[in-house]
Amino acid sequence: AQSVTQLDSHVSVSEGTPVLLRCNYSSSYSPSLFWYVQHPNKGLQLLLKYTSAATLVKGINGFEAEFKKSETSFHLTKPSAHMSDAAEYFCVVSNQAGTALIFGKGTTLSVSS
Amino acid sequence: AAGVIQSPRHLIKEKRETATLKCYPIPRHDTVYWYQQGPGQDPQFLISFYEKMQSDKGSIPDRFSAQQFSDYHSELNMSSLELGDSALYFCASSPRLPGADTQYFGPGTRLTVL
């Protein structure tokens, strides 16, 4: 069965410093992987998606993620954090049939000035 | 761009009552998914539909049922509500194309059961 593990439940950074949110996946097939962001009391917004076309995926708002098959990782990064980046981030894998998404437990990103 | 529409946005019910949540997918999207997000939890998949047929089923209680209509909108019906059903319910949609498994989420319906 497929699953994702987000290695940090909470990450705190200062504004202007790099962001690293870590995610490992487990899958018996070549997975589709996603990062979604959820701001407080808001819906889920797609940041980026990996589908095997390229290992480095660029998303919205300056975020990017690198797929590393050898490490079964899909970490999310951003060179410089902004206050508006404070939110809950979910690493997500699609099931093999593409009929459902499986979410990680989420990482809360806090950004201080 | 048009997004997924969910109604109502907020709903308050008493225990043992029923609730109906509605979802209107993005135009030309024919697949709809429902998720439940409890307080402080990650979203859990409930059920999905493609072309009005159930395509997959997750951890949906027997008290819940859902369907997709000819205009592709979907309704989630919840009966005998329990306190534990209080959650944010998301609907998502996607086009049914090869490799098109990206799901676009609505703003959610916050259900509170008293």
User: What is the DSSP track for B58-82?
Assistant: -S--TTEEEEE-TTS-EEEEE-S--
Residues on chain A touching B55 (C-beta within 8 angstroms): 97, 99
Distance in Å, alpha carbon of A17 to nearest chain B alpha carbon: 27
Interval B87-106 mean pLDDT: 85
Is the CB of B59 inside 8 Å of chain A's CB atoms? no
Q: Which of A27-36, A79-88, B90-99 is most confident?
A: A79-88
Average pLDDT, chain A: 93
Interface contact A43-B44, CB threshold 8 A: no
Q: Is A2 a residue whose pLDDT tops 90? A: no
Contact list, A43 vs chain B (CB under 8 Å): 90, 105-108
For residues B40-54, give the mean pLDDT. Answer: 93
Supply the mean pLDDT for chain B. 93
Q: Do B42 and A51 touch (CB under 8 A)?
A: no
How do beta strands B87-94 and B31-37 pair?
antiparallel
pLDDT tier at B106 (50, 70, 90 boundaries)?
very high
- Give pLDDT, residue B96: 72
Hey, are the CB atoms on B101 and A105 less than 8 Å from each other? no
As a whole number of angstroms, the longest Cα–Cα distance in chain A is: 43
- A36 interfaces chain B, CB cutoff of 8 Å: yes
Q: Please give the pLDDT value at position A71.
A: 92
Q: How confident is the model at residue A92 (pLDDT cuts 50, 70, 90)?
A: very high
User: Model confidence over B1-44: pLDDT tens digits?
Assistant: 789 999 999 999 999 999 999 999 999 899 999 999 999 999 99
First to last CA, chain A: 41
d(CA A62, CA A81): 9
Q: Which two tokens stand for residue B19?
A: 């609730």
pLDDT confidence band for B97 (50 / 70 / 90): low
Q: Which one of B48, B102, B106 has the shortest CB-CB distance to A99?
A: B48
What's residue B41's pLDDT? 92
Residue A54 has pLDDT above 60, yes or no: yes
In this complex, is the C-beta atom of B102 within 8 Å of any C-beta atom belonging to chain A? yes
Chain B partners within 8 Å of A44 (Cβ): 43, 90, 92, 105
CB contact under 8 A, B33 and A101: yes
Q: Identify whether the C-beta of residue A80 lies closer than 8 Å to the C-beta of residue A18.
A: yes
Model confidence band, residue B99 (pLDDT cutoffs 50, 70, 90) = low
Task: Please tell me which of the candidates B42, B56, B102 has its beta carbon nearest to residue A49.
Answer: B102
Average pLDDT over residues B65-70: 96
